[in-house]
C-alpha cells in the first residue's frame, strides 16, 4: 500500500500521488477538502496514482460535489484506466469530469 498524498503545484494545480483505495483513504482525507478552495479553477492530475478501487471513485465524486456546491471549476487529468472503468460501470462516465477522458 502506498500512502495517499495531494501535492500542491500552485495556481490551483494538484497531483495525487499514491493509492486511491479503501486502505489509503481515511476520514481525514475525505474531510480535508480545503485544498479545493485554493482557486476558482482546480485541476487534479491523477497520473501518479498507483492503485485504485471504488473508494477512489467515491472520493472523486465527493470532490466534484464540493466543487459544484462552491462554484469551483474542477478538471481531472490523466485518469487511470481502472477509474475510468469504474466510472463507466456506475454510469458516471457521462459526467463532464470524465467525458473528455473516456476512450
User: What is the reported pLDDT for 99?
Assistant: 53
pLDDT at residue 103, rounded to an integer: 34
User: Grid coordinates representing 72?
Assistant: 469551483
Q: Over the stretch 73-95, which tens digit does the pLDDT of each residue have?
A: 999 999 999 998 888 888 876 77
> What is the per-residue pLDDT across 16-75, written as a single tens digit (0 to 9) for each?
999 999 999 887 777 788 899 889 999 999 999 999 999 999 999 999 999 999 999 999
pTM of the prediction?
0.86
Q: Please classify residue 88 by burial: count the beta carbons closer than 10 Å to its beta carbon, then call 0-12 exposed, 13-18 middle and 19+ buried.
A: middle
Q: What domains appear along the chain, each with residue ranges and CATH number?
A: 5-99 (3.30.750.24)
Amino acid at each position: 500500500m502506498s500512502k495517499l498524498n495531494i501535492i500542491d503545484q500552485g495556481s490551483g494545480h494538484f497531483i495525487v500521488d499514491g493509492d486511491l483505495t479503501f486502505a489509503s483513504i481515511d476520514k481525514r482525507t475525505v474531510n480535508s477538502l480545503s485544498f479545493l478552495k485554493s482557486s476558482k479553477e482546480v485541476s487534479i492530475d491523477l497520473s501518479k496514482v498507483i492503485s485504485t478501487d471504488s473508494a477512489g471513485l467515491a472520493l472523486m465524486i465527493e470532490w466534484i460535489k464540493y466543487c459544484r456546491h462552491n462554484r469551483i471549476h474542477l478538471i481531472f487529468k490523466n485518469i487511470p484506466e481502472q477509474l475510468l472503468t469504474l466510472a463507466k460501470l456506475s454510469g458516471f462516465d457521462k459526467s463532464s469530469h470524465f467525458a473528455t477522458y473516456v476512450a
